[in-house]
Amino acid sequence: MKRVNREIDEQGSGISRRRFVQGIAMGGAIAGFGLNSASAWASTRSIGNPKILTGDHFRLSIGYTPVNFTGKERIGTAINGMVPAPILRWQEGREVTLEVTNNLAHDTSIHWHGIILPSAMDGVPYVSDNFTGIPPGDTFTYRFSLNQSGTYWYHSHSGFQEQTGLYGAIIIDPADADPVSYDREYVIVLSDWTDENPARVYAKLKKMSDYYNFSQRTVSDLYNDIKQKGVARTWGDRKMWNMMRMSDRDISDITGYSYTFLMNGQTPAEGWKGLFKRGEKVRLRIINASAMTFFDVRIPGLDMKVVTTDGQNMEPVTVEEIRLGVAETYDVIVEPNDDTAYTIFAQAIDRTGYARGTLTPDLALTAPVPALDGQPILSHSDMGMNMASMGHDMSSMGNDMSSMKGMGHDMSSMKGMDHDMSSMKGMDHSKMSMGGKADNMPMGSGPAGYGSSLPQPHVATEYGPHIDMRAPDAQYRLDDPGVGLRDNGRRVLLYSDICNLYPTPDPREPGREINLHLTGNMSRYMWSMNGIKFADAEPLILKYGERVRINLYNDTMMNHPIHLHGMWSDMETGEPERIPRKHVTVVQPGAKISYLVTADAMGGWAYHCHLLYHMLGMFRKVEVVS
């Protein structure tokens, strides 16, 4: 055991500076197929589908296993010797029992992501009722009934174990007829792997938050900006970004410099493969099980009909591309009409790498891999600036940054800024767009399904050196595909497209609202909610049975996937009759989003950003009390 611990502690030493992002052809073989080490090293299996476990009673063993995704052997954290972990296939209406044994040298846990269950079974140490984790050598028995169907996943909620391989898929078959018809299905698990010790990754980010970002601005970028915008406007833009000590290329904390992106445990060099017959309807259950990476997924030559989001059936929407935030799941139907191969292309949001697979009628056939899209660049709207409503013309800023007075920014050295939101003249809060579906809303709290129409309140705890940005005018941007996807010529799934297949289960108006700002200091790599890190925060108290609206305001320049355990997040898109149900809601940079929660689950629940390295600070405990 001491030797294994030393191997884990030494991971990452000697990693090459510009490691080939696609990995090595045999990269995931040992980890993905439920083979023992000897057979895995010798295997050249071309379909990397994880093992499927079915039934009502499961024995899961968490332990160390050797993996090799990059040509260097490392130690992963596996379930039953597999990375990714086995697929668990359950049946709605049944009770499942899972005996989880810890063979690690440290405490562990499993959280059943998106599953509605008692707090004591949720698997978050010191948050879930009477659960403190699973000590080394112990076995913990999870037991709960299944009152839902769909595509979900499971992962560790202890330390950085999720990053080192402790994650897997869950499929719950419906008790009644499935409203989605298909001939064949595959589970697509997307993830990110680093050869580095995750603790070292976090330490590097704390010292230099852009350590992994090699897509910085260059002289040629400056020259191109001057050609397009002129010297004055370019100078004004650059001065603004520099005074904020921020970069418009700061898209992902960890990039392909360290990450190898995997599809079902397969590196891009080898690629996962799935067979089909021409004319079949193929269901792809896509899960973003990564620690830190947003993926933009498309299949060139095939449309995708989106039929579920986060396990919940939705009105089908046909698109060409889907952005999956960390921990989101989407099911899609594709119908290949030709005897040819198709590439499933999942590029990282920062365009520093990709995962890929192939749908093919013949394992000997492959398809071309698309080129990565260009480097995304953040805009003023990603800083929470609604220039139209605020009456500002950025092109007129020139060298005079005093024209930003009254916009509510805290830009450290930018003295004289007016932080009083009442000074934001020209703003009509009665016309805050909800993706084109909720204009002309009355002042005050909006009706159920539409979100809040109140101006965003900033609180005293958001001011200080632990906060380097506050969005002056965060907007609902449900019809915005997000940075890197705007105007790319492809039909991208929007949050405003999502409509539940069934009527809204709880149509009540919210009795009250909770406002939470997603905050941080990016240069110091400090994350929080309302400027308060988890260690210093009081729990959020919900009264059992109440209907509450939660308004999230993203005061940072990064996407945050927010996950509430134990209860559904009914995302308000302007469709009150069929409000979409989510367990993860992505809040874009400088944007806001609202959802309704029915507090129908007693006990303690985790509520956090699902970016693993943000979770230490951007986290709250929710307590539902009688």
Tens digits of residue pLDDT in 590-621: 999 999 999 999 999 999 999 999 999 999 99
pLDDT digits (tens, 9 = 90+) for 357-384: 999 999 999 999 999 999 988 877 777 6
> Helices 231-243 and 219-229, interaxial angle, to 10°?
130
Distance of CA 608 to the CA centre of its chain: 11
Instruction: Return the residue matching tokens 């230490």.
Output: 616
Q: State mean pLDDT over 243-265.
A: 84
Tell me, yes or no, if the two domains 2-179 and 381-391+426-625 fold the same way.
yes
CB 573 within 8 A of CB 495: yes
Contact yes or no for 327/563 (Cβ under 8 A) = yes
In the structure encoding, which two tokens stand for residue 59, read together?
């024995």
The whole-number average pLDDT for the span 161-179 is 98
Task: Give the pLDDT score at 341.
Answer: 98
Range 582-594 average pLDDT: 97
201 neighbors 254 (Cβ within 8 angstroms)? yes
pLDDT digits (tens, 9 = 90+) for 46-63: 345 789 999 999 999 999
Instruction: Give which of 70, 74, 147, 161 is closest to 114, Cα–Cα.
Output: 147
Determine whether 290 is exposed, middle or buried from the number of CB atoms within 10 Å of its CB (0-12, 13-18, 19+). buried
Output DSSP code: residue 536.
G
Which among 270, 294, 262 has a CA at the least distance from the CA of 561?
Answer: 294
Q: How far apart are CA 171 and CA 494, in angstroms?
A: 25
Please state the length of the chain: 626
- What CATH class does 381-391+426-625 carry? mainly beta
Structure-token match 């539409």, residue found = 450
Q: Which CATH number fits domain 2-179: 3.40.50.11540, 2.60.40.420, 3.40.50.2300, 3.20.20.120?
A: 2.60.40.420
Rounded to 5 degrees, φ, ψ at 576 are: -65, -25
Residue 232 vs residue 388, higher pLDDT: 232
Show me where the domains of the chain are located. Answer: 2-179, 381-391+426-625
Pairing type for strands 342-348 and 354-360 reads: antiparallel
274-327 residue pLDDT tens: 999 999 999 999 999 999 999 999 999 999 999 999 999 999 999 999 999 999
Point out the least confidently predicted range of 129-138, 148-157, 228-237, 260-269. Answer: 228-237
**Considering only CA atoms, which of 90, 97, 98 is closest in space to residue 147?**
90
Q: What pLDDT score was predicted for residue 435?
A: 43
- Strand 619-625, strand 540-543: pairing: parallel
**β partners of residue 329:** 287
Q: Is the pLDDT of residue 228 over 60?
A: yes
Per-residue pLDDT band at 454 (split at 50, 70, 90): confident
CA–CA–CA angle 94, 96, 99 (5° rounding): 170
Element (H, E) at 54: strand 52-54
Q: How many CB atoms lie under 10 A from the CB of residue 199?
A: 15
